[in-house]
Amino acid sequence: MIASFANCFKIPELKKKILFTLAILVAYRIGCYLPTPGVNGSVLAEFFRRISSTAGGSIFGVMNMFSGGALEKATVFALGIMPYISSSIIMQLLTAVIPALERLAKEGQAGYRKINQYTRYGTLVLCLVQSFFIALWLEDKSGTVFQGLQVVNNPGWGFRLVTVLTLSAGTLFLMWMGEQIQEQGVGNGISLIITAGIVSSAPSAIHMLVRLMSPATAGGTVQLQPLTLLIMVCFLVGVIISITLITQAQRKIPVQYARRIVGRKVYGGQNTYIPLKVDTSGIIAIIFAQSIILFPATLASFIPHQGFQAMASIFLRGNFWYYAVYGVLIIFFCYFYTAIVFNPVDVAENMKKHGGFVPGVRPGTQTADYLDFVITRITLAGAIFICMIAIMPDAIMASFKVPYLVASFFGGTGVLITVGVMLDTMKQIESHLLMRHYDGFMRSGQVIRGRR
């Protein structure tokens, strides 16, 4: 594998793509340290330090992870790339339910550009709305959110306008950088930006681990024993292997095409298969579920009403109903997204139109029912696995008594995203290597499939 990485820099075109991608990611990390005007960064950091061990801290920990630590510092990239991700998902769902968008999606490259333009407009709208609420949250006129700390020195409409413009421009710039990686670099640009933000928290997590294992910082007692750390590392290795296997797992449905003789030529007769992925939704189901489950807690931070906050506390981390509802939402959105992107009826009709059939199954309606039967059952296995991965950081926090930042690196959404993005990136690099007759990353003859 080391030789394969070395070969990447022997191909001028691939070397240029890799260096361009790294340059964009470095620029992204620099932007995560540019502060938003009017925000006292040291006071905000003190607030995050105070709530790091509470249920609210784990909620902000999730948001901060997706922004690459920019939310904690209230920098120009505090919103991260999530508004674009949310807009893309919404547009993909609307394409499946609105006939006009569905026809547009079938027009090829021209339709794709038009839908991408609508996605950008949706991103801008989400940025304006979210940045305005973040400005109100930072002002904290009630004084209940930041526990008496004054984060904004000069609150008012001037600060709100500057914050809205700054954060919205930051997200749009991130969207542009992701598209540049997609066109001129290697890998999925948006996914790489999210992964770079997640990986950037690794030094802080390692520092916390060192502090937990040092008796000098724990009053003479060690909070995390070396044996416990070894168990956590072994657990992490098992999680990475499991995510890799589930990400690449697929059920191959054999398809045979009828042989046709036209004149002296024979058409068809070949055998192929339909790859049905076990984990079709991936991280999208978790993003949907988190958006809904965190919504009551987010509103509670703006509405100081005791009754509403008591109701919202039911859906905080550590509560049974939080995990129950969270798990059900993940499983639901796994099935929902799979139904959106894979239509058994359309697949069966296309097979029938081109003379293809599944051996032992009649073309048409019975083929559609068979495909629906298979995808329903393999999606259940993928949904349960995704649900376990999503809840894993909370189990690690409760079992090993470590902060959320540390627990998120030993299992959870961050590991799921990182492993999937690395597989996608290695798949693209491997295709360049094989195209130019170099060995890929896998010497056993298999090809990295990635998430798509």
Q: Split the chain (452 residues) into runs of 10 and give each run's mean pLDDT.
A: 72 86 91 84 73 55 68 82 85 83 82 88 91 82 62 84 92 91 85 85 81 65 77 86 87 82 65 86 79 69 63 70 85 87 87 84 89 92 88 79 77 81 83 70 54 52
3-class DSSP string for the chain: CHHHHHHHCCCHHHHHHHHHHHHHHHHHHHHCCCECCCECHHHHHHHHHHCCCCHHHHHHHHHHHHCCCHHHHCECCCCCCHHHHHHHHHHHHHHHHCHHHHHHHCCCHHHHHHHHHHHHHHHHHHHHHHHHHHHHHHHCCCCCCCCCCCCECCCCHHHHHHHHHHHHHHHHHHHHHHHHHHHHCCCCHHHHHHHHHHHCCHHHHHHHHHHHHCHHHCCCCCCCCHHHHHHHHHHHHHHHHHHHHHHHCEEEEEEEECCEEECCEEECCCEEEEEEECCCCCHHHHHHHHHHHCHHHHHHCCCCCHHHHHHHHHHCCCCHHHHHHHHHHHHHHHHHHHHHHCCHHHHHHHHHHCCEECCCCCCCHHHHHHHHHHHHHHHHHHHHHHHHHHHHHHHHHHHHCCCHHHHCCCCCHHHHHHHHHHHHHHHHHHHHHHHCCCCCCCCCCCCCCCCC
Considering the domain boundaries, does residue 167 fall inside one?
A: yes
pLDDT in tens, 367-379: 999 999 999 999 9
Considering the domain boundaries, does residue 131 fall inside one?
A: yes
Considering the domain boundaries, does residue 389 fall inside one?
A: no
Query: Look-up: residue for tokens 């620099």?
Result: 30
Considering the domain boundaries, does residue 328 fall inside one?
A: no
Model-wide pTM > 0.75: yes
pLDDT at 279: 86
Considering the domain boundaries, does residue 390 fall inside one?
A: no
Enumerate residues 6+ apart whose C-beta is below 8 A from 437. none
Considering the domain boundaries, does residue 60 fall inside one?
A: yes
pLDDT in tens, 253-268: 888 887 766 666 666 6
Pick left, alpha or beta for residue 274 (phi over 0 → left; psi -120 to 50 → alpha; otherwise beta). beta
CATH of the domain at 113: 1.10.3370.10
pLDDT in tens, 285-307: 887 787 777 767 666 655 656 66
Enumerate residues 6+ apart whose C-beta is below 8 A from 228. 400
pLDDT at 142: 56
pLDDT at 297: 66
Considering the domain boundaries, does residue 140 fall inside one?
A: yes
At 10, give phi and psi (nearest 5°).
-90, -15
Q: How many domains does the chain have?
A: 1
pLDDT at 417: 83
* Domain that includes residue 192, residue range: 1-200
